[in-house]
Amino acid sequence: MIKKILIANRGEIAIRVMNTCREMGIQTVAVYSEADYSSLHVSYADEAYCIGPAPSAESYLNIEKIIEVAKKTGADAIHPGYGFLSENAKFSQRCKDENIIFIGPAPYAIDTMGDKITARKTMMDAGVPVVPGTKEPITDLDDAVKVIKEIGLPVMVKASAGGGGKGMRLVEKEEDIISSVKAAKSEALSAFGNDAVYVEKYISSPHHIEFQVLADNHGNCVHLFERECSVQRRHQKVVEETPSPIMTEEVRKEMGKHAVAAAQAVNYSGAGTIEFITDDNLNYYFLEMNTRLQVEHPITEEVVGLDLVKEQIKIANGEKLSFKQEDLGQRGHAIEVRIYAEDPDNNFMPNPGKIEHIQFPLGPGIRNDTYVYNGFEIPIYYDPMISKLVVWGANRSDAIQRMKRALKVFKINGVKTSIPFLYQIMEVESFVKGRYTTHFIQNNEQELKMRADCNMECAEIGTIVAFLDYMNKREAKLSSINEESASSKWKESGRKFRFLI
């Protein structure tokens, strides 16, 4: 039985893991970099040890140091959170060698899923759909045409030696096949001296839909349904929700089976996520597997009613899953937004600094996964995420309304945050209707720049309040000076002086 867990991470996920440990009566060990001395995860743990300077390479990625702390404190297990060492096969192996339980999959699963080509091949063998495409470069025109017809339009033809968009052609109509392949080949030849091309299915309205899986060490594996993560900016997820607004019960079942097959193909153990790229018609293809807990795992917890970290720990403990696929169901709707210290009106420039004041939204259906507090200085070395705000509602429209309510009363002072941008997402028609793809943010750039109106009166009163604040401070300063000059009379008489030295 695991009695003490070292959390090899920081920020909200360290707190998240510790919460479950506390509930399970498991002792926690925090590790922290010098820059994280004042971080909440330090005081939240039973024990805490500094493992090096601010840069991750010298602290949170420092395997030797982390193993050393685990051994010193007698931790039975290490939870890697997400990021940092969570998908590091060497670290998983090293834990094994040191007889410490790594709360995550075995090195083999991490390695196999970590390499795109091996993963793709493994999935094909397991019968999991992958994005159709050629496996070898093609030089012959007829071969290319044949392959394209097999895959079906639209396709992307890419120079096999290529990069930077050169020798790349999107083919959407049958009559363009030959001319496009020719153009791609000749462009490829002149640019790279090699006219070989790849052909890949092109998904024009892609959705990012992922399935949560849980597998124990006794051959049992279930999925916990999907998460829709298509609201992305620069391939970073911004909003996640479950259920997916485009999912059908039939496809859900089928995708779930494929997700389980994918996990079983690498003999997976623990919590993992199978990411699929999906088109408007719910054709779906394996993209990659994340062999760890995801940032967005809370929405699954809210809708399925399980604690994923608890399941991870139980699996690591060698326990069997206590439920079967048919015991699991989805209830209501959950949405997560990631709140960053960044300036949405200035190209999302990171905006680290001191949190002067923070007031979390509270009340029904709201969950805050966070690690900041009043006065906390966000370190510049790590991810600028302040908080994950999660809401649950009886249905999608209730959840959206609740998210808007929560964002409206979420006050963070001192740094700029993505809150007004996230609020605006909840207002955009295609989001409200649930008809959006991974192009959502770029397709709605203008609408997303709009801000709920601070009308004339609101702005004028705000201005006056700043003036009043200034005048109040000025008065306070004046009267404190008068007071001190009064106190200096005491000083002269020697009476108060005695108590002050």
Partner 1 sequence: MSYEISINGETQPIQILNRDGNKIKVQMGKATYELDVFEREPGIYVVLRNGKTYNYELQAYEPKKYKVNTFSEILDVEIIDPESRYSKNRKGSHDDDADHISTPMPGQVVKVLVKEGQEVKAGDTIVVVSAMKMESEYKVTTDRVVQKVLVKEGEKIDSNQPLVIFESLE
Q: Is 11 left (phi over 0), alpha (psi -120 to 50) or beta?
A: left
Give the residue with the Cβ less far from partner 1, 154 or 350: 350
Our CB check for a second copy shows the closer of 17 and 282 to be 17
- Pick from 8, 18, 45, 138 the residue near partner 1 by CB under 8 A: 45
- Could you give the string, one character per residue 350-379, with x where binding to partner 1 holds by CB under 8 A and - elsewhere? xxxx--xx---------------xxx----
99 contact partners, CB below 8 Å, separation of at least 6: none
Q: Cβ of residue 120: shortest distance to partner 1, in angstroms? A: 28
Q: Does residue 445 belong to the site contacting partner 1 (CB under 8 A)?
A: no
Q: Which stretch binds partner 1 (CB under 8 A): 84-92, 176-184, 238-246, 448-456?
A: 448-456
**CB-wise, 334 or 337, nearer to partner 1?**
337
Please, which residues have CB within 8 angstroms of residue 109's CB and are 6 or more apart in sequence? 266, 267, 268, 269, 272, 291
Q: Minimal CA–CA distance to 372: which of 97, 12, 5, 10?
A: 12
Peptide bond into 379 cis (omega under 30): no
Is 200 a binding residue for partner 1 by CB under 8 A? The answer is no
Query: Which one, 117 or 501, has the nearer CB to a second copy?
Result: 501
Listed ranges 260-268, 433-441, 454-462, 480-488: which one lies at the site for partner 1 (CB under 8 A)? 454-462
Q: Which of 292, 338, 367, 402 is catalytic?
A: 292
Q: Please, which of residues 401-420 interact with partner 1 by CB under 8 A?
A: 408, 411, 413-414, 416, 419-420
Strand 357-359 to strand 366-370: parallel, antiparallel, or no bridges (unpaired)? Answer: unpaired
Contact 37, 60 (CB under 8 A): no
Q: Which does 31 bind (CB under 5 to 8 A by kind): partner 1, a second copy, none?
A: none
Q: Looking at 471, 476, 478, 481, which residue binds partner 1 (CB under 8 A)?
A: 471
Measuring CA to CA, how many Å separate 261 from each of 161, 208, 215, 216? 33, 19, 11, 14
Q: Which two tokens stand for residue 23?
A: 């509930």
Q: Of 184, 156, 182, 183, which Cα lies nearest the Cα of 170?
A: 156
In angstroms, rounded to a whole number, what is the distance separating the alpha carbons of residues 396 and 330?
13
Site string for partner 1, 301-340 (x = CB under 8 A): ----------------------------------------
Choose the binding region for partner 1 from 115-123, 216-224, 255-263, 470-478 (rule: CB under 8 A).
470-478
- CA dist 469 and 147 (Å) reads 71
479 binds, among a second copy, partner 1, none (CB under 5 to 8 A by kind): none
CA distance to 337, 355, 416, 418, 435, per residue, from 384 (Å): 14, 12, 11, 11, 29
**Counting Cβ atoms within 10 Å, is residue 417 exposed (0-12), middle (13-18) or buried (19+)?**
buried
Q: Which is nearer to a second copy, 81 or 298 (CB)?
A: 298
Residue 465: CB minimum distance to a second copy, A: 13
Residues that bind a second copy (CB under 8 A): 15-16, 19-20, 22-25, 44, 298, 301, 305-307, 331-332, 359-360, 362-370, 373-374, 394, 398, 401-402, 404-405, 408-409, 474, 477-478, 481, 484-485, 487-488, 491, 500-501
Restricting to residues 19-38, name those near partner 1 by CB under 8 A. 30, 37-38
Alpha-carbon torsion angle 393, 394, 398, 404, nearest 10 = 0
38 binds, among a second copy, partner 1, none (CB under 5 to 8 A by kind): partner 1
Q: How many Å is the Cα radius of gyration of the chain?
A: 27
Diameter over CA atoms, the chain: 105
Structure-token pair, residue 143: 């071969």
292 an active-site residue?
Answer: yes
Please identify every residue annotated as catalytic: 292
Instruction: List residues binding partner 1 (CB under 8 A).
Output: 30, 37-38, 42-49, 73, 341, 346, 349-353, 356-357, 373-375, 380-384, 408, 411, 413-414, 416, 419-420, 451-454, 457-473, 498-499
